[in-house]
Structure 1
Amino acid sequence: MQKRHAALGMFAVLLFSYVINAIDRQLFSVLAADVRNALDLSLPQVGLASTVFTLGMGVAGIPTGYLLGKMSRKSVTLVGLVIFSAATYLTAYSRGLPDLLLYRFVSGLGEAMQLTALLAIGTSYFFQHRAVAASSLNFTFGIGAIIGPNLGAAILGATHWKMPFIVFGLSGIVAFVLIVPLVKPWFSEARPQPDPAANRSGAPADPALDSLWAPTPLMLAVATAFAGLSIYGYLGLYPTYLRDALGFTPKQAAGAVSFYGLGALLSLLGGWLGDRYDYRKLLFFSLLISAVAGGLLFTELGHSLALHATLSFVFGAAISGMVYANLSAGIIKSVSSAKAAQASGLFVASLYIPAAFAGYLLGHLKGEMGWTLAGILQVSGCALLAALLAIMAGARRAD
């Protein structure tokens, strides 16, 4: 019991570092309008800058899954923390679109390294509660999604657009000095438990569970890609929509978006449900709710901050609290436990490579058909496609 409490304490330290990761990811969208004016960017360009970090996350996802077989998970976590914190700091000194995109891309590389390592740590040590372990990461993402926009807007109001990047970039030092002495190898490097699907010789009873490219994980990966386009269409340009189209102040826009983070706090419930019931059905209904709420956010809701906040909460609760947790855990469950790190990498790549272009796509669609149709087409449409793919995915699980 004492060892388990120590493990929970170490996981809490790692989750704290992920809050900083989440803050860094959420910060740019609130400052996008200010960065756009300062660097003289078009809407599609700033939309691309808002989400291009996810390309770095996606590119790094699968290689990091294999890197975890060569380096300790703790080391990968620390290297990722240093990379994304440094890139966030340097974003403040961008002089134009090329270096801005470079810093955003590099920040995504570091964020993916940290996320993939943390998924591997949590789902390996807490093997019997993989969905809860995965969802705890998204729970802490929700905390960062609440803190980041609001504190970033407050710093912006008191100083200038560069200062929030500087402050949050330097905050990674705090997490680094906590992880180094407090997180022990017996926790971070714990091997997955023997797979219940294995026979006495140690080989998986079902060879499909030992392949990352079997139909079930691949179909869930494609569903993840469409969910990412929906999530990051919202996260990338919804604050810009509120400010440019509806005239919200930075503080009001940040307040509305932070309710998405509040909804993400339901991740632990989503993981608990996914561990006990058919996660495919949970994904299907959660994605349907996401499609409705996400589409309504871009319709004529007037200037009601309360209504925007409410729908942002519903969208966040459904797609972040329920969908994110169960897509990540679902891909991991669909393969053998020995492939957990690689499955984590597949999830990260599937979510974040397409999401890199979500802001650019929504900005382009807005130019062609206006905010409302663009938002419905991308945010709602992609969620519906993800729902169909999730319910069609095979029911086989590596439990």
Structure 2
Amino acid sequence: MNKHKAALGMFIILLLSYVINAMDRQLFSVLAPDVRKALGLSLPQVGLAATVFTLGMGVAGIPTGYMLAKMSRRAVVVMGLVIFSVATYFTAYAKGMPDLLLYRFVSGLGEAMQLTALLAIGTTYFLQHRAVAASSLNFTFGIGAIIGPNLGAAILGATQWQMPFIVFGLSGAGALVLILLFVKPWFTEVQASQQETGAVVEQGLADTIWDKTPMTLALATVFAGLAIYGYLGLYPTFLRDGLGFTPKEAGLAVSFYGFGALLSLFGGWLGDKYDYRRLLFISLVISALSGGILFAGLGKSLTLHIVFSFVFGGAISGMVYSNLSAGIIKSVKRENAAHASGLFVASLYIPAAFAGYLLGLLKENFGWANAGIIQVAGCAIIAAMLALIAASGQRQPVALSQT
């Protein structure tokens, strides 16, 4: 029991470091209009800058999955934390589009290293509760998504646009010290074979990440990512430039997406208890409806934007993200958990890198309302269809009683 409590305590420290990750990711979208003005960027350019970090995340995803077979997971977490914190800090000193994109891209590399390693640590140690372990990461992402926009807007109100990047970049140092002092290798480096109970026979699971079910779920993740990061990348800009909201109001509205993400633990529990692929379908349909309404049906009511940001966040982050990340891992045999977590990261974040740029182009051609419907709602519907395809024909692992 003491060992279990110690492991839980160490996982909480790692999750706290992931809050910093989430805060860094959510900061730029609130500051985007100020960065755009200071650096003389177009809307598609600032949309690309808002989401290009996800290209770094995606590029690093699968290689990090293989890196975890060669290096300690703890070391990969630490490296990722240092890389994205330094890159966030230097974003404050960007002089134009090229170096801005470079800093954003490098921050994504570090964020992916940390996320992939944390997914492998949580889903390997807490083997019987993999969806809850994976969803706990998104729960802490929700905390960061609440703090990041509001704190960033508050700092912006008192200073210049550079200062939030400096403050957020330096905040990683505290998390780094906690990890180095308190997180031990016996927790982070445990192998699936050490966790075997003999209670489950892995029949019907994929031998590699390239089999049909993990690849179908990966494709669903691609479209879910385009919906998520279309919203995260330019929704605050839509509120400020399209509807005339202040930075504080826009930060408040988008932070309720983070409150929705706090449903992740409940979403993970549902995914462990029921068929996660059918849960994905229902949640993606809700995501499509609420995401389309956010861009097309609410006008200038801050209250309604808060409510529907929460609904959208609860559905696509609390339910969809949690069960896609855990689902891809569940669909393969346990020894391939690190590779599966890398596949999820790559599938979500490589296409998402262009989500802001795509939404910016759609807006310039069709207006904000149609752009939101096409990308946010449309991509969520396509992902829902793919979740149904993944749900057809795959057997679950066969549970056997201990003798």
Provide the TM-score with structure 2 as the length reference: 0.96
2:334 aligned with 1:337: yes
Q: Secondary structure at the match of 2:70?
A: coil
**Residues 2-17 of structure 1 aligned to structure 2 (within 5 Å):** 2-17=2-17
Report the counterpart of residue 395 of structure 2 in structure 1. Answer: 396
Report the counterpart of residue 153 of structure 1 in structure 2. Answer: 153
Q: Contact conserved, 2:53 with 2:353, CA < 8 A, in 1?
A: yes
Q: After superposition, give the CA deviation of every residue in 1:143-169 in whole Å (9 maximum; x if it has no partner).
A: 000000000000000001000000000
Alignment partners' CA distance in 2, 1:116 and 1:68:
9
Report the counterpart of residue 42 of structure 1 in structure 2. Answer: 42
Alignment partners' CA distance in 2, 1:52 and 1:254:
20
Q: Secondary structure at the match of 1:209?
A: coil
Q: Contact conserved, 1:333 with 1:398, CA < 8 A, in 2?
A: no
Report the counterpart of residue 364 of structure 2 in structure 1. Answer: 367
Alignment partners' CA distance in 1, 2:41 and 2:244:
19
Aligned with 2:223 (options 223, 226, 229) = 226
Report the counterpart of residue 274 of structure 1 in structure 2. Answer: 271
Report the counterpart of residue 284 of structure 1 in structure 2. Answer: 281
Moved over 6 A (4+): none
Report the counterpart of residue 77 of structure 1 in structure 2. Answer: 77
Q: Contact conserved, 1:197 with 1:205, CA < 8 A, in 2?
A: no
Q: In structure 2, give the amino acid aligned to 1:15.
A: L
Q: After superposition, give the CA deviation of every residue in 1:26-56 in whole Å (9 maximum; x if it has no partner).
A: 0000000000000000000000000000000
Q: In structure 2, give the amino acid aligned to 1:379.
A: V
Q: Secondary structure at the match of 2:296?
A: coil
Report the counterpart of residue 123 of structure 1 in structure 2. Answer: 123
TM superposition shift of 1:194: 3.6
Q: In structure 2, give the amino acid aligned to 1:383.
A: A
**Identical-pair percentage:** 74
Q: After superposition, give the CA deviation of every residue in 1:330-351 in whole Å (9 maximum; x if it has no partner).
A: 0000000000000000000000
Alignment partners' CA distance in 1, 2:134 and 2:304:
30
Q: Contact conserved, 2:203 with 2:396, CA < 8 A, in 1?
A: no
TM superposition shift of 1:276: 0.3
Report the counterpart of residue 186 of structure 2 in structure 1. Answer: 186
Alignment partners' CA distance in 1, 2:199 and 2:225:
31
Alignment partners' CA distance in 2, 1:335 and 1:195:
18
TM superposition shift of 1:210: 1.5
Q: Secondary structure at the match of 2:206?
A: helix
In 2 relative to 1, CA 68–195 (structure 1 residues): closer, same or farther, beyond 3 Å? Answer: farther
2:270 aligned with 1:246: no
Report the counterpart of residue 132 of structure 1 in structure 2. Answer: 132
Q: Contact conserved, 2:291 with 2:377, CA < 8 A, in 1?
A: yes
Q: In structure 1, give the amino acid aligned to 2:144.
A: G
Q: In structure 1, give the amino acid aligned to 2:91.
A: T
Counting matched residue pairs gives 394
Q: After superposition, give the CA deviation of every residue in 1:293-326 in whole Å (9 maximum; x if it has no partner).
A: 0000001422110000000000000000000000
Q: Contact conserved, 2:206 with 2:214, CA < 8 A, in 1?
A: no
Report the counterpart of residue 300 of structure 2 in structure 1. Answer: 303
Q: Contact conserved, 2:90 with 2:103, CA < 8 A, in 1?
A: yes
TM superposition shift of 1:196: 5.7
2:106 aligned with 1:106: yes
TM superposition shift of 1:195: 8.4
Q: After superposition, give the CA deviation of every residue in 1:341-362 in whole Å (9 maximum; x if it has no partner).
A: 0000000000000000000000
TM superposition shift of 1:397: 3.9
Q: In structure 1, give the amino acid aligned to 2:81.
A: L
Q: In structure 1, give the amino acid aligned to 2:335.
A: A
In 2 relative to 1, CA 195–213 (structure 1 residues): closer, same or farther, beyond 3 Å? Answer: farther
Alignment partners' CA distance in 2, 1:397 and 1:358:
34
| Structure 2, unpaired ranges of 5+ | 399-403
Q: After superposition, give the CA deviation of every residue in 1:45-91 in whole Å (9 maximum; x if it has no partner).
A: 00000000000000000000000000000000000000000000000
Q: In structure 1, give the amino acid aligned to 2:174.
A: V
Aligned with 2:354 (options 351, 357, 364) = 357
Q: In structure 1, give the amino acid aligned to 2:50.
A: S
CA RMSD after TM alignment: 1.3
